Structure 1
Amino acid sequence: MSDWKPRLIASDMDGTLLRHDESVSPATVAELERWRASGVPLVLATGRPPRWMHGIREVLRHGTAVCCNGAVLLDLEPMEILDEAPLLPDALAAITAELRVHEPTMWFAVEYGWEFRHEPVYRPRWDVDAPGVAAATLPEMTATPAAKLLARHESMTRDAFVQLVHDVVGERGTVTNSSTDALAEISAPGVTKATGLAEVAARHGVAPEDVVVFGDMPNDIAAFEWVRDGGGRAVAMAHAHPDLLAVATDVTGTNDADGVAAFLAAL
Structure 2
Amino acid sequence: MSGRSTPIRLVVSDVDGTLVRHDKTLHPETIKAARELREAGITLCLASSRPPRGMEMYLEPLGITTPHAGFNGGQIVASDNKTILDELVIPEDAAKQAVEHMTAAGLDVWLFAGSGWYVRSSDGPYVAHEAEVTRNTFTVVDDFAPYLGKTNKIMASSKTFDLVGQVESELQGLLGAVASVNRSSPYYCDVTNVDANKGHAALALAKIAGVPPEAMACLGDMNVDVPMLKVAGLSIAMGNAAESVKAAAMVITGSNDDSGWADAIRAHVLPKAP
Query: So what's the TM-score if we normalise by structure 2?
Result: 0.85
**Which range is displaced more, 145-154 or 244-253?**
145-154
Distance 2:51 2:44 in 1: 18
Partner residue of 1:221 out of 226, 236, 239: 226
Asked if structure 2 preserves the Cα contact closer than 8 Å seen for 1:116 and 1:132, the reply is: yes
Query: So what's the TM-score if we normalise by structure 1?
Result: 0.87
SS, match of residue 89 in structure 2: coil
- Residue 138 to residue 222, structure 1, CA distance change in 2 (3 Å): farther
Tell me by how many angstroms 1:2 deviates.
7.8
Q: Root-mean-square deviation (CA), in Å?
A: 2.3
Partner residue of 1:74 out of 70, 74, 77: 77
Asked if structure 2 preserves the Cα contact closer than 8 Å seen for 1:8 and 1:41, the reply is: yes
Partner residue of 2:32 out of 30, 33, 39: 30
Tell me by how many angstroms 1:220 deviates.
0.2
Asked if structure 2 preserves the Cα contact closer than 8 Å seen for 1:118 and 1:134, the reply is: yes
Relative contact order, higher structure (CA 8 A, sep 6+): 2
User: 1:206 — aligned with what?
Assistant: 211
User: 1:83 — aligned with what?
Assistant: 86
Distance 2:51 2:136 in 1: 14
% identical aligned pairs = 24
* Structure 1: unaligned runs, 5 residues or longer: none
Asked if structure 2 preserves the Cα contact closer than 8 Å seen for 1:118 and 1:141, the reply is: no
Asked if structure 2 preserves the Cα contact closer than 8 Å seen for 1:215 and 1:237, the reply is: yes
Residue 185 of structure 2 is aligned to residue 185 of structure 1:
no
User: 1:176 — aligned with what?
Assistant: 182
Deviations 1:141-194 (A, max 9, x none): 54441110113345460432311221222212000111121x210001121011
Report the residue type matching 1:160 in the other structure.
Q
SS, match of residue 108 in structure 1: strand
User: 1:234 — aligned with what?
Assistant: 235
- Residue 131 to residue 23, structure 1, CA distance change in 2 (3 Å): closer
Distance 1:262 1:197 in 2: 21
Distance 1:89 1:161 in 2: 19
Partner residue of 1:161 out of 160, 167, 180: 167
Partner residue of 1:58 out of 53, 57, 60: 60
**Which range is displaced more, 16-25 or 114-123?**
114-123
Tell me by how many angstroms 1:236 deviates.
0.4
Distance 1:256 1:43 in 2: 20
Residue 110 of structure 2 is aligned to residue 109 of structure 1:
yes
Deviations 1:28-68 (A, max 9, x none): 22222222233211010111102212211231241221111
Asked if structure 1 preserves the Cα contact closer than 8 Å seen for 2:114 and 2:150, the reply is: no
SS, match of residue 139 in structure 2: strand
